[in-house]
Structure formats: structure tokens, C-alpha cells
Structure 1
Amino acid sequence: MLKSELINGVSQGTLGIISRKIGDKKLAEQILQNNFTAVGLCQGDVVSILIASDIAEKTSSVVVSEVNGICPQHIICLAIFGDVTSVEASLAAIESRLNTK
């Protein structure tokens, strides 16, 4: 099961925390330099997160990235960056596809 949340009006501090957890430093810099107004966070197993990432990018104009953490159960996190409408549309599409099975 995939868990997802929306942060509307995301703060620079939160973007900073997330950017430090992203392995791709070029993307981390991009996140800090853009004016993203929302972040969608999805947590789940590797397969679900890969599918969620693909759905998000195909649904809206968003930037996606894995958020690194330490989890022995192979649960990972996906961050979806963009404007509120785009992130909401991506999360709705992901939830529609992955949470109803």
C-alpha cells in the first residue's frame, strides 16, 4: 500500500531538508532554486514508487526524485515538486492507480 501526502505552500526550510536527502546534487540545487509551491510525498515499496514516479511525470509538469532514508524494510520515499495543481493531479492519478488494487 502506498501512503501519500501533499504539502501545500511548502517552506524553504522543508525544501532544504528534502534537498539534502536527494542523491542527485544537481537536482537538489534545482529544487532549492525553483519556486515550487507544493510537494507531494509518497512512501511505499520500490515497485510502487517507480510506478508512482512514472505516473506523476506523465500526468503533470512536475519534478520527481527519490528521497533517501534508512529503512530496513525496503520502503522508499518519492518527492513530487511543482505547483499545487500539478502536484495534486499527480497524486490523484497515483492514488487512483495504486491504492485501489
Structure 2
Amino acid sequence: MKIELINGVSRGTLEITARKAADKKVAERILQNEFTAMGLCQGDVVSILVASDIAEKTSEVVVSELNGMCPQHITCLGIFGDVTSVEESLAAIESRFNKK
């Protein structure tokens, strides 16, 4: 699984992400600049679902699938929140997938 963290997300990146968010309520929150950090996980569907569950159980974050060119497939997970919460979630995800 590919995992990335963006702190202090730029306005343009927020706009791109909002357009890709499957959950329109999350998209609105992204555009309102509610989040100071964004974690991104890319992998197969099973891995994305497991990562989503880990993220929400680890810290106070909001998750949403981010659609790519084929919106019928979950290709990327966005994890949104404050820097510490997103970092904790990504560390737990990375720990889980590095064990395999």
C-alpha cells in the first residue's frame, strides 16, 4: 500500500480532493478548510477498506474514498483531520501493512 501525508494542504489540492471525494458532505468540509492535514492511501479494495477501519479506530479522523478515472472502483482513501490525528492513523496503517 502506498501511503502519503500532506500537512497544511494547499487550496488547489483541497479543490482537487473535494472533486474526487465520493462523500459530498466530506467534500464540503474539505472546501471549508476544516482539516489541517490529509493522509492518502492507495491500494486494492480490501486494503483500502482495512485502512479506513484502522484510521477511524485509531484517532479522530474523517475518511472518504477518492475516485480516480474509474469512479466505480475505490482506488484511494483520503484521511482528514488535524496533523497529529492523521499522523497517528497513517502510522497504524503502515504498521499493519508492514507486518505482511
Two-structure CA RMSD over aligned residues (Å):
1.4
Q: Which amino acid aligns with 1:51?
A: V
- The answer for the alignment partner of 1:15 in structure 2 is 14
Percent identity (aligned): 79
Q: Give TM-score, length-normalised by structure 2.
A: 0.90
Question: Which stretch shifts more, 57-66 or 74-83?
Answer: 74-83
Gaps in structure 2 of 5+ consecutive residues: none
Letter in 2 for 1:42: C
Structure 1 stretches (4+) deviating beyond 6 angstroms?
none
Shift of 1:75: 6.6
SS of residue paired to 1:41? strand
Distance 1:32 1:75, change over 3 A: closer
- Report the TM-score when normalising by structure 1: 0.89
1:4 deviates by: 0.2
Runs of at least 5 residues in structure 1 that lack an aligned partner in the other structure: none
